[in-house]
């Protein structure tokens, strides 16, 4: 294959991949510390862009002989073996996880997708944080302009008749796309996100009265990261395109209950898991949740369902991603 053909194939492959998949790969494209190993890894990447995953895996194996403690290299080898349908992809992912227990690459998610591990209730926080820290500079352009991302506008339309709101808490605020939709109907607007780089982008828009770094994991819910501000202060809590980066939502609903004033609203979106009873991990490494699962959580935590809207929330690899928007009210 010529260099020109490789470049053309790389461009075609890039268009087929989702933006988050591309950025997840970019997070591991750093040096091994060995010039020869890096050269082999770069050539392996070129072969993979040309769809020759078996040859790419072979070259990565050679690179890892030189730097056997390179966690990112083992993760990349796992991906190449996986795409080449080689049986030992799981071994490479496990080695990456051993070398990088914080799992910044999401090896545990990859193991679950190939049936070599259980689906985690939630993804590694460091993986999600790294994902969006790297993505922040191009987030608005990639998601809105290229992938027709529409959740903030649609969720804003859903809540608009119930405003204005004295205090809105925007969970997983990102760069402030939902904040822009709700700002003129919010007396006070707070935003929280796991990614410091996303928060920096949100701050540049001057939309929020308060921004804080936190995630929605079990550890965050138990650590009291929101306790520095008064409980039951929000008339509206939003989570626009956030819950698909969690599996189990058992930590989210208690937090939302703590944030909301009596009769406050919780507006959020999920990717649609269809007939599945709870949630599923998709090839995109995002989770999808079923309406049945969400309904059971709303009932359990004392929320009345006000509105449900099925819609296309974005495009991914040229195909529509189907989601569900929910608007609920805290009872009492």
> Which two structure tokens, joined as six digits, stand for 89?
């992809």
**What's the pTM value of the predicted model, to 2 decimals?**
0.83
**Tokens 């985690």 sit on residue:** 120
Cα dihedral 110, 71, 76, 217 sign: positive
> Which two structure tokens, joined as six digits, stand for 332?
């009492």
Helix (H) or strand (E) holding 313: strand 303-316
Give the residue range(s) of CATH 1.25.40.10 domains in the chain.
3-118
* pLDDT for the residue numbered 273: 94
> Which two structure tokens, joined as six digits, stand for 305?
């369902």
Q: What are phi and psi of 255, to 5 degrees?
A: -65, -45
* pLDDT for the residue numbered 148: 76
Measuring CA to CA, how many Å separate 67 from each of 61, 97, 145, 221, 288?
10, 16, 40, 39, 37
Which CATH homologous superfamily contains domain 139-330? Vaccinia Virus protein VP39 (3.40.50.150)
> Which two structure tokens, joined as six digits, stand for 254?
């208690």
* pLDDT for the residue numbered 80: 95
> Which two structure tokens, joined as six digits, stand for 50?
């040309």
User: Cα separation of 2 and 74, whole Å?
Assistant: 27
Contact between 323 and 272 (Cβ < 8 Å): yes
Dihedral angle computed from the Cα positions of residues 114, 120, 125 and 128, in that order, rounded to the nearest 10 degrees: 40
Measuring CA to CA, how many Å separate 136 from each of 29, 36, 198?
17, 32, 5
* pLDDT for the residue numbered 127: 86
Measuring CA to CA, how many Å separate 285 from each of 112, 186, 245?
10, 33, 8
Q: Beta 234-239 vs 319-330: how paired, if at all?
A: unpaired
What topology is assigned to 3-118 in CATH? Answer: 1.25.40
Give the residue range(s) of CATH 3.40.50.150 domains in the chain.
139-330
* pLDDT for the residue numbered 293: 96
pLDDT by 10s per residue, the chain, length 332? 433 343 334 333 333 333 333 344 444 446 788 899 999 999 999 999 999 999 999 999 999 999 999 999 999 999 999 999 998 999 999 999 999 999 999 999 999 999 999 999 888 888 888 888 776 777 667 666 667 788 999 999 999 999 899 999 999 999 999 999 999 999 999 999 988 999 999 999 999 999 998 877 655 555 555 556 788 999 999 999 999 999 999 989 999 998 999 999 999 999 999 887 799 999 989 999 999 999 999 999 999 999 999 999 888 878 889 999 999 999 96
User: Cα separation of 186 and 171, whole Å?
Assistant: 15
């Amino acid at each position: 294959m010529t260099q020109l053909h490789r470049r053309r194939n790389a461009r075609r492959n890039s268009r087929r991949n989702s933006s988050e998949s591309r950025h997840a790969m970019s997070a591991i494209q750093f040096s091994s510390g060995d010039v020869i190993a890096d050269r082999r890894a770069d050539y392996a990447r070129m072969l993979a862009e040309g769809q020759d995953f078996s040859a790419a895996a072979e070259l990565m194996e050679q690179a890892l002989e030189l730097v056997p403690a390179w966690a990112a290299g083992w993760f990349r080898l796992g991906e190449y073996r996986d795409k080449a349908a080689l049986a030992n992809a799981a071994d490479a992912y496990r080695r990456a996880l051993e070398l990088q227990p914080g799992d910044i690459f999401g090896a545990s998610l990859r193991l679950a997708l190939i049936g070599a591990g259980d689906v985690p209730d939630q993804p590694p926080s460091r993986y999600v944080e790294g994902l969006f820290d790297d993505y922040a500079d191009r987030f608005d352009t990639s998601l809105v302009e290229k992938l027709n991302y529409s959740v903030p506008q649609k969720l804003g339309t859903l809540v608009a008749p119930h405003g204005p709101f004295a205090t809105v808490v925007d969970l997983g605020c990102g760069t402030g796309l939902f904040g822009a939709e709700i700002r003129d109907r919010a007396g006070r607007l707070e935003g929280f996100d796991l990614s410091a780089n996303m928060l920096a982008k949100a701050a540049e828009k001057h939309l929020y009265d308060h921004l804080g770094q936190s995630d929605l994991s079990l550890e965050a819910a138990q650590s009291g990261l929101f306790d520095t501000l008064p409980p039951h202060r929000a008339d509206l809590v939003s989570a626009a395109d956030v819950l698909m980066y969690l599996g189990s939502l058992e930590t989210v609903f208690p937090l939302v209950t703590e944030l909301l004033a009596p009769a406050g609203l919780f507006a959020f979106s999920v990717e649609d898991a269809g007939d599945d009873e709870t949630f599923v991990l998709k090839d995109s490494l995002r989770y999808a949740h079923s309406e049945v699962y969400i309904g059971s959580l709303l009932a359990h935590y004392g929320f009345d369902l006000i509105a449900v809207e099925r819609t296309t929330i974005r495009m991914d690899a040229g195909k529509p991603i189907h989601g569900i928007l929910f608007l609920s009210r805290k009872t009492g």
